[in-house]
Amino acid sequence: MAKVREVLRERVVAPVVQQLKQGVTPEKLALSLALGVVVSVMPILGITTLFAIALSAAFRLNPAAVVAANYAAYPLQILLYIPFFQLGAWLTRGPPIPFSLPQVKAELAVGIWPTVLKYADANARAMVAWVALAPFATWILFLLLRPLLAKLPLDRIERATRKPGDS
């Protein structure tokens, strides 16, 4: 647990505090973090970081904050993968995808590419669900994060996030 705390401190908390200390407004930082979290749950494995960086450039947001939030929220992608598949099937009136871990393991053992092709339509439907929810989720996270970031006691947080031996 200490290792997770250390990684979060180095890759999420420290960059956020640094951005606020450098003059990034709480609004811009809140939007950067919200976008990073929402992009991290996109139901396509392996491209969220590139997509997050592209969106940060397109919206002139802080790429460090977007990527930090993207990394921090990555476990949510795994948790939401199947719900996005099911919601995508429901939204597009497609067939529901029955998933089981042994089934997917067996399919992947046969070959990654055939498995990717088998689920390509379902993945496209999952993306429909994500695209439908992403703007609302980003807005809600922004509304939650903005007041929190505006009230952060930066000096106290910076002291708490220093590594032992830092001055």
Q: What is the DSSP string of 19-80?
A: HHHTT--HHHHHHHHHHHHHHHT-SSTT-HHHHHHHHHHHTT--HHHHHHHHHHTHHHHHHH
166 occurs within a structural domain: no
75 occurs within a structural domain: yes
Cβ pair 43, 77 in contact under 8 A:
yes
Domain count of the fold of the chain: 1
What is the residue range of 10's domain? 2-160
64-111 pLDDT, tens digit per residue, is: 889 888 988 988 998 998 899 999 999 999 888 887 778 878 888 999
22-42 pLDDT, tens digit per residue, is: 767 888 889 999 999 999 999
User: Which residue type, as a one-letter code, is found at position 142?
Assistant: F
98 occurs within a structural domain: yes
Q: How many CB atoms lie within 10 A of CB 38?
A: 27
Q: How many CB atoms lie within 10 A of CB 39?
A: 27
- Name the nearest CA neighbour of 82 among 43, 115, 47, 121: 43
pTM over 0.95: no
68 occurs within a structural domain: yes
167 occurs within a structural domain: no
